[in-house]
Structures are given as C-alpha cells and as structure tokens.
Structure 1
Amino acid sequence: MLKPVHKEFFQQETLQLAQSLLGKILVKETKEGTAAGWIVETEAYMGAEDRAAHSFGNRRTKRTEVMFGEPGYVYTYVMHTHCLVNVVSGPKEAPRAILIRAVEPHLGIDLMYERRGTIKKDTDLTSGPGKLTKALGIVKEDYGLPLFEPPLYIAEGYEPCSISSGPRIGIDNSGEAKEYPWRFWISGNKFISR
C-alpha cells in the first residue's frame, strides 16, 4: 500500500521541491478505484516576482488564495477545459506553486484508459498536465486538499538517476520569465510532455 509523504517534505525551497517531487508517486483515490503515477516532470512558479505565476505581484484572488497558505496543499485550476494540478510550495504568504506536468502510469492503468478514451500510444496517457489529471481523476474540486493524506496525495517513489532542466512551456506572454530554467524532468523518461 502506498503511504503519503510527511507534511514536512513540502517545507523545501520551491526550486528544490520541484526536483524532489520527481520520482515520487501522485495518487488519487476515487470510488471507481485508485490511479497513480510516478511524477516525471514539474514546473516551478515563484510567486510575486515571477511574471508567469498566477500570483505575480502578490495577486490575491479566490483562485490564488490557497497559494498564500502553507506548503503541501493542492492548487487546481482550469485552463482551456483542462484541470491542472499544482503543489503549493514556499513559506506562508509567499504564493508559490509547482505544476505537475507529467506522470508515468503506475497503478490503475485500465481506469486511466477508461477515463482518457481512445489513446493511440501508451505515452499519450499521462504525458501532459491536462492528460494526467483526466487519467487520475483529479478535478477542480480537489482545490485546497492536503497532499499528505488521502484521497489525493504524494507517496514515496524512487530517486531519479538524472534530472534535466529547461525553460517552462506555454507561457509566451510572460516576458523574461519564459526563459527561466524552472522546468524539471527525469532525463530520458518517455512520458514527459514534450
């Protein structure tokens, strides 16, 4: 059985946590069953000073409120009909978050296929932030849940041999912030988004 990480795991500095999440398991328990995948790609958003962050300039709205709280909670939002899942990071009142961009399927793979419909290749199942939430059954209503207890949590996984980093994806209108190398992935993993 998978066990959630301790709350203290999330106390790391954001860029460090974005890398520490790689190899951990993202788990979602639902009445249809449990689905889980190893986290293989993340993207850090550094809050007030990061033009690409929803909380840039300390923008505090109903949507961003959870980011102003303690680390280790779920920040979900909808973008172009896709729900995206983030890990709140950084100290209280420093609104930072880490987008989980891709996972490698681990448990409940049949359930993932059911949820995702017609998929041509295995690698398309969870290789993107909208794909993985649909496959795992993560929804906007998971907003604010703790990531250190069921039904949606991070569990221990494995230590990646090699981690790569580069610019974040899909944030073209964010000035110099689009060049920051704050996207991290497990080198060579075939489930990364692109």
Structure 2
Amino acid sequence: MDYVLLVKCILSGFFLAAPIGPVNLICIRNTLTYGYITGLTVGLGAALADTLYGYAVAAGLSFITDFISRYHLAFRWGGGIFIIYLGLRTLCSAPQDLGPEQKPPNLYKLFAGIFFLTLTNPITIFAFIAVFSSLGIAVLITDFFTTCLAAIGVFTGSALWWLTLTGIVHLFYNKVTPVTLSRINKIAGIIIILLGITSLFEL
C-alpha cells in the first residue's frame, strides 16, 4: 500500500501548490524576467515549506498545529505585510530595469525568502489536514517510514507543479518585450498587493 500513499501525497502536493496566489505570481514574474532557474528557485522554496507542513501533519505533530493556531494572527500579519512589500517591489519595477541585462537576484536569498513566506501562511497546514483526511492518507501513515514517504510525495508533487508552471512560462521568455514585462509587473504587483491586504483581514 506504500505506493498508494506515495501517489496520493504526490497528488496532494501538486494540487495544493497549484492555486494561483502570491507565490505563483512571483514565480511567473521571476521566470519572465530572469529565466527558468530563477523561477524554479521560487517554486522550490515553496515546495520545501509545503514538505515541512506535510511532514508535520503526517507525523501528527499536534504542538505545531497548536502553536500556529495560537499565533495565527502574527503569522497572518507577518506574511501579509511581506506579501504587500513584494507586491510594491514588483509594481515599482521600471522598464529600463528589466530584461536579460538585469542582474538576477541572489538565488539563496530568493529561495529563503519564499520558503519563509510560505511558512507564514497558517492556512497551509490546515489545508494539508483537510486533504490528508479527505483522501484517506492519514490511515495509511503508520510509522516513521510512511511519514517520510508522505513528505517525499508532497515535495515531489509540489515540485512537479513548479516545474510545469516555470516550463510553460519560460516558453514566452524570449517573446516578452521590456514594455510588456513592465505591464505584467504592474498587473502582478497590484494583484499581489491585493492578495496581501486580503490575507491581513480574512477570517
């Protein structure tokens, strides 16, 4: 039954990463601006955070869930403010600063920033709880091996989504002009800011 657990966790990781949100928009923007590797770095940072949450749920680490529940306002406001900051940076990107000649961001800092941004979303762990319960994953996790297998499945599924997204977006990398990219930045920046504001006040 281990293969059933692995497949279910891969599907969970894929579909939980897929909904369009701030990280997806940041990934798209970085892929169009700097190329495939930079965009994929964004995705892998989110995938690692998803994996930690998936492992926590699979291992039944209730103290993590309790901690996040207790301080969910701090997580939500911290993450929301950071999202708004990223939206403002995207919105204010000038056309002359865009294009292949622009120096790409430090990949380690980018990876770490997205990793912590994803961790600040307390909804993620509860989404995993809901999905693991609805797909019957919880009953398949019986020991340390199956717990690790579940985490590997989540990472694989999430990484597959980011590989797919960056691959599709990268097809347009050489077809996007600086002016078009500037418009994309403004639209993405506004959407990211609105998502950040929404995350501050959602129930």
* TM-score category, normalised to shorter length: under 0.3
Q: From the CA coordinates, give the structure whose radius of gyration is larger.
A: 2
Structure of higher RCO (CA pairs closer than 8 Å, 6+ residues apart): 2
Would you tell me which structure has more helix in proportion to its own residues? 2
Return the structure number with greater strand share: 1
